[in-house]
Amino acid sequence: MTIGRIERRGLMLVLSSPSGAGKTTISRRLLALDDNLAISVSATTRPPRPAERDGVDYFFVSEEEFGRLAAEGALLEHAKVFDHYYGTPAGPVQEALAAGRDILFDIDWQGTQQLAQKARDDLVSVFILPPSKAALKERLLKRAQDSEEVVARRMAKASDEISHWAEYDYVVINEDVDFCLSQVRAILDAERLKRHRQTGLVDFVRELREEPVP
């Protein structure tokens, strides 16, 4: 992509949060607002939920297929989350980055750590926190009509995920969805302008400074 006329390298924007912090809403709205951002579709061994489509929400694969992808090195990162395996197919990410497109990842802290090891310079990680414990519990309760016990288990999982907040580049609190979205967009805008991502700057500046040939 070019900013004005400047070529730049794409970046990898990771959004992580405990479930119930509003991450899905933020990602959907961010994607709808930004033409240069595409979502990375993960592979998973989890069975599809009723509204989910193969190849759109996830690539739903068997454990055998997942193991094969991991062994072939076709996954940029992978992890076991709750009871299932999840992983990021490497090919689409590498193509997008090289073409200057940015990619959004909805992955957990384990995946974020692996991406940081492999591609620190391309990574921008954002952790979304709920505004309070009460709000988190309310959102988890609203999500499904589960028993107190199920909600308590989810709260414990959320607490575990939250403990990784300090590993992220940015932390935003989702008190108001519109405001939170504007903060994530501000992060993305500023990160796109980072000098090391603007690969066309050297030529651009050379041209600015060149004396005209007589």
Judged by beta carbon, residue 6 or residue 41, the one nearer ligand 5GP is: 41
Task: Provide CB contacts within 8 A for 27, sequence distance 6+.
Answer: 15, 39, 104, 106
Residues 174, 29 contacting (CB under 8 angstroms): no
CB of 4 to ligand 5GP, least distance (A): 34
CA 18 vs CA 83, 86, 106, 136: distances in Å? 16, 16, 11, 9
Residues 127, 168 contacting (CB under 8 angstroms): yes
CB of 161 to ligand 5GP, least distance (A): 7
Residues 1, 10 contacting (CB under 8 angstroms): yes
Judged by beta carbon, residue 102 or residue 108, the one nearer ligand 5GP is: 108
Residues 123, 14 contacting (CB under 8 angstroms): yes
CB of 51 to ligand 5GP, least distance (A): 12
Judged by beta carbon, residue 11 or residue 93, the one nearer ligand 5GP is: 93
Judged by beta carbon, residue 5 or residue 145, the one nearer ligand 5GP is: 145
Q: Distance (Å, rounded) from C-alpha 109 to C-alpha 184?
A: 18
Judged by beta carbon, residue 103 or residue 188, the one nearer ligand 5GP is: 103
List interacting residues with ligand 5GP (CB under 6 A): 42, 46, 77, 79, 81, 86-88, 106-108, 110-111
Residues 16, 112 contacting (CB under 8 angstroms): yes
Query: Which residue has the closest beta carbon to ligand 5GP?
Result: 111
CB of 138 to ligand 5GP, least distance (A): 19
CB of 15 to ligand 5GP, least distance (A): 8
